[in-house]
Every structure is written in C-alpha cells, then in structure tokens.
Structure 1
Amino acid sequence: MNNLIINENIKLYYQRSTQVLFVLLFLFVLCGGIISKVGSGYLEDNPDWKDDLTKYNSFLTSQMEANPQYVEPYTKEILMNEYRIKNNYEPIADDNIWGFINSISGKLSIATIFSIIIASSILTNEYKWGTLKNLLVKPYSKSKILASKFITVLIYACVQYLLMLFFSWLIGGFMFGFSGTSQPHLFVENNVVKEINLSMYVLINYGLDAINLVVLATVAFMISTLFNNSAISIGVSITIMFSLTVLTDFFSDFFWNKYSLFSNLHLEDYLFGGVPKMEDMTLYSSLFIISMYQIMFLLITWITFTKIKRDV
C-alpha cells in the first residue's frame, strides 16, 4: 500500500500539468501582492482616523433607523469601532503581512480549483491512457488502488494549501515587511467585543477552508469515478464551490436544509461572532454531517470502482 501511494505521488508530481499548477499558484499570489502594494501606495497614514470612525458610527446609526433589517450587523460594527477608538486600534489594512495573508485566504478558491482538477483526472487519466490495466495485473486489489489515489489527492490538496500559505507569507513579507501587526482581530459575541491574535485568526480561517477543500476534492473524485469523465467532474465540482451560498439561501425555508451539505460547509459562521445559517445548528453537528457525507461519497466511489465492470 505504501509503495502504491509513493508511486502515485511520483507519477503525479512528474506530470508537466501538475508543475504548471504550482507555478500558476505562485503567480496568482504574486499578482495579489503587487495589486495590494500598488493600492496601498495611494494610502497615507490618517491621523484623524478616530474622528472618521466617530462620523462613520453616526452614519451607521442613521442607517439603522432607515433600514431596521440591518440593525444587527450595523450594531456590531459600531461596537467594534467604539472599541478601536477606546483602545487606540487603528483599522487593519491589507498593507501588512498578516493583513495580506488574510486577504489572500479569501481567494483560496484557486487552490481548491487546482485540487479539483487533480481529483477529477487522477483516475480518469488511467482509463484515458490505458495504464489502469498495468495496475490491475499487479498484486493489488481495486480497493487499495482506489485508496492510494484518493490519499494522493489529499496529499496534493494539503501541499497546495501549505504552499498557498507559504507563498502568501513570503510575498507579503517582501512586499510589506515580516514584522506583521500588533493589532488583534476584533469580533462581537453576545454584544461584547472580543480580541484574537491576527495571525491565529488567519490560520484558523485557513483550517476551516481546508475542510471545504477536502470535501470538494472528494466530490470531484466521486463524480469522475461515476462518469469516468474529468470534464463533468470539474464542471460540477466548481459549480458547487461557487454556488454554496446561493444554494444555502435558496433552500433556507426548508427544514431539511440544516442537514444539507451546502448549509454545513459554512463553518466560519460558528466562530468569531458569526450566526449559523439555521437554528439548532452547531459546529459539532456540522462536522458530524460533513463526515457522514464524506463517508457516503467514498462509499459510492468504492462501489462504482470495485463492483461495476468497465473496459480498461
């Protein structure tokens, strides 16, 4: 089994397409850094930021009267602004290393897309190139072959994710300095403003997004096995990725929505003062439901690959 996993990784990383994806990932982060640097060049230190926040709070207060549906988010923003003024915390911009890393973390979809591409093609390419028969004649069961490919996908996804973080740290450091910022990330929970170290906040967000990456890579792996078509798998998986919020809101009036995969992938709603999509939803319940979907996806994949006969 270990030899299978090693061989799969060697085959994957020797492919030119895989190497190109790593280069594109670096260029993506580099372009983000250049854009942030150029944009920050037009920003000057604002000695009157406290007065600006006070005026902005007045504006938000007037907006709450005109738009009562936004009372909760406006109230949270006012509380955080007052906290900043009281504790001399100037609003955090993207022109520091952790601010940049945090802004890039919101664009992690590029790493997810690359992982979906690999998950969709790692098995279908074996059929396409006629090399699957070489694996099947060796003393390995279909289950072990399938498991080795899925583990390889997970390893690749982790590598992509870690590289995304490393590239962001490296480029952000060169662009804005490695000293970071001493200011914390602020959030409101039960009408009380709380602090968390900015670097810890960014790393937690990366961890939550990594769960979504693994789930979507599994979906792509399952669909490619079902239809033996990487194009369908990539298209469906990327559509799901970009439609998560739309699908969650569309089915929000249905009681079963709390058990859907779409609603439970919004793990960030449970932390830092967020609000779950539906009542009675918790972080642990969402993790459990996600785990059940993962088991179902892998079971469907295993049955399709091991029990259904196909020409190789």
Structure 2
Amino acid sequence: MKFLSLVQNEIMKITSKKSTWIFYIFLLLLSLFVGLPIKLWIPGFSDGHNYISFAGTVFMVCSLFVTLFALVLGAQTVTEEYKDGTIKQLLIRPAGRTAILLSKYVACVIMVLIAYAVLFLSSVAVGAALFGTAELPNEHFIVLSSSYWYSLPDMLFMFTLAFFIATVFRSSALAITVAIVMNLAGSAFAALQYNWARYLIFNNTNWKIYDTDPLINQGTPPPFPGMTFGFSLTIYVLHLVILLGVTILVFRKRDVA
C-alpha cells in the first residue's frame, strides 16, 4: 500500500503540471488535424477505408509524439527534483530510495499508457464521425490494437533508457538527446549481420514478427534464423533489468546533501 501511495503521489505531481494537460488536449485535437484535411481534400480516401483504418493511419503518423512525451517524462521526473531542490524532502520520507525511484518509473509508465489510450479513443471517435461506423470484421480491430500493443516494447525501452541516463547523469537534455539518437539509429544497428547482433536490443523489440496472424506479422521473418519470441523476451527483460538495476544502485548511493 505504501508503494501504491507513492505512485499515486507521483501521478499527482505529473498531472499538476499544465504541460501534461496541454499534451493530452493536443492528442485529442491531433486526430482532427489529420482527419479534416483528409476528409476535405482527399475524398478518395473514403473509398476502401473506414474509421478503423483511419485510426491506424493516425497512430502511424502521431505515435512519435507519444514516444517523445515518454522520453521527456523519463528524463525530467528525477532531474526536476534535483533542480527544484525537493529531492532532499523526498528522501527523508520513511519509504526507501528504491521504492521512491520505482514509484516515479511506474507513474510515468502509467501516464504514457494513458496517452496511448487518449490517442486510440480520439482517433476512433474522429474516424467514426468523419468516415462512418459501418460494421467491420473483427480482424480490423485486431490489427489496430496490435499496432498499439507491439509499439510498447520499443517505447518502454527508450523511456527506460532516458530514465537511466537522467538519473545517473542528472541531465534531462542529455537523456532526451541520447534516447532520440538511439531511437533513430536503432534500424541501423538492427541491420548489422554479425551473429552477435542478435543480442542487441534493437533486434528484439519488434514482437509482431512472432505473431501467428499473417495480417500482423506480414510474413516478416526474425532478424536471425532460430530467433524465437522467448529469446527476444529474455534479451529484452535483461536489458531493462540492467538499466533499472544500475539506475537504482546509483540513486541509492548518491549523496544529495
């Protein structure tokens, strides 16, 4: 219960900022910004498309904003405590440093998931208003939901990386910059054909290739022969555990006097 209270307190801190609500409102309006021009100036889009395919288009175009939101949260949640001088007050509480740090991590993840939900619901609602609500096969919903689900591993790792760098080096600018560069360079690292490259995180975040639904995996083979979902999940978890482990170790030993 104490940990849940810490998480709740961190969520209250995040939601008390105007920038958080501005971003959520921006996400709500984003679907309109994409949908209205399509409806007004690309009338042919309605032929063969529906509100679900529109929602998929919105996610493909706009999910980058949620990723950037995650990186900023991960970079600022600890560094702002140092900048504002509130880190001392935070650490004099009965809760241990590990619990405090993990509560910040969990609170940020929850806020990012809420951002995904806002984007999903607003894009479906705008799509229904602009392109109708014709009854569709279940496959359409499965493909749309999978686009959200399978984007989470990559986003969560980048968020964890930003959280790690910000906590260790106490620099939000460095954390955001490195995370963005790594995100952009990920495809280049994933293209390496050396056998050891199978252990790189960038070759183990695209889990949709292991999905049995051909509409989702699109026939894409694993980066290396013999790779399985279990292998990718293990490598992924190891990377997260290492990043969080080092982050906790540094935070526990750091002198904030």
Q: What TM-score results when the alignment is normalised by the length of structure 1?
A: 0.75
- Code of the residue aligned with 1:106 in structure 2: it is M
Partner of 1:100: 54
- CA distance in 1 between partners of 2:11 and 2:44 (Å): 45
- CA distance in 1 between partners of 2:231 and 2:178 (Å): 26
Of residues 194, 200, 224, the one that matches 1:278 is 224
Q: Give 1:137 shift.
A: 1.6
- CA distance in 2 between partners of 1:31 and 1:280 (Å): 44
Q: Deviations over 1:97-123 (max 9, x none)?
A: 111111122231211111111111011
Partner of 1:205: 147
- CA distance in 2 between partners of 1:298 and 1:109 (Å): 24
Q: Give 1:225 shift.
A: 0.5
Partner of 1:116: 71
What is the CA RMSD across the aligned residues, in angstroms? 1.8
Partner of 2:205: 265
Of residues 15, 27, 30, the one that matches 2:29 is 27
- CA distance in 2 between partners of 1:147 and 1:116 (Å): 16
- CA distance in 2 between partners of 1:109 and 1:5 (Å): 26
Aligned residue pair count:
248
Structure showing greater radius of gyration is 1
Q: What TM-score results when the alignment is normalised by the length of structure 2?
A: 0.90
SS of the equivalent of 1:197 reads helix
- Code of the residue aligned with 1:145 in structure 2: it is I
SS of the equivalent of 1:278 reads coil
- CA distance in 2 between partners of 1:282 and 1:153 (Å): 30
Q: Structure with the greater relative contact order (CA < 8 A, sep ≥ 6): 1 or 2?
A: 2
In the superposition, relative to structure 1, how do residues 41 and 305 fare at CA in structure 2: closer, same or farther (>3 Å)? Answer: same
Partner of 2:115: 160
- CA distance in 2 between partners of 1:268 and 1:31 (Å): 29
Identical pairs, percent: 26
- Code of the residue aligned with 1:255 in structure 2: it is N
Q: Deviations over 1:191-212 (max 9, x none)?
A: xxxxx71111111121111222
Q: Give 1:39 shift.
A: 4.5
Partner of 2:175: 233
Q: Deviations over 1:166-208 (max 9, x none)?
A: 11111111111122544xxxxxxxxxxxxx7111111112111
- CA distance in 1 between partners of 2:153 and 2:141 (Å): 19
SS of the equivalent of 1:123 reads helix
SS of the equivalent of 2:221 reads coil
In the superposition, relative to structure 1, how do residues 269 and 33 fare at CA in structure 2: closer, same or farther (>3 Å)? Answer: same
CA contact (8 A) 1:161 1:210 kept: no
- CA distance in 2 between partners of 1:238 and 1:118 (Å): 13
CA contact (8 A) 2:161 2:243 kept: yes
- CA distance in 2 between partners of 1:169 and 1:242 (Å): 28
- Code of the residue aligned with 2:155 in structure 1: it is L
CA contact (8 A) 1:157 1:214 kept: no
- Code of the residue aligned with 1:200 in structure 2: it is I
Partner of 2:124: 169
In the superposition, relative to structure 1, how do residues 38 and 242 fare at CA in structure 2: closer, same or farther (>3 Å)? Answer: farther
Structure (1 or 2) with the greater helix fraction: 2
Question: Counterparts of 1:12-91 in structure 2 under 5 Å?
Answer: 12-42=14-44
Consecutive unaligned residues of structure 2, counting only runs of 5 or more, are 212-216
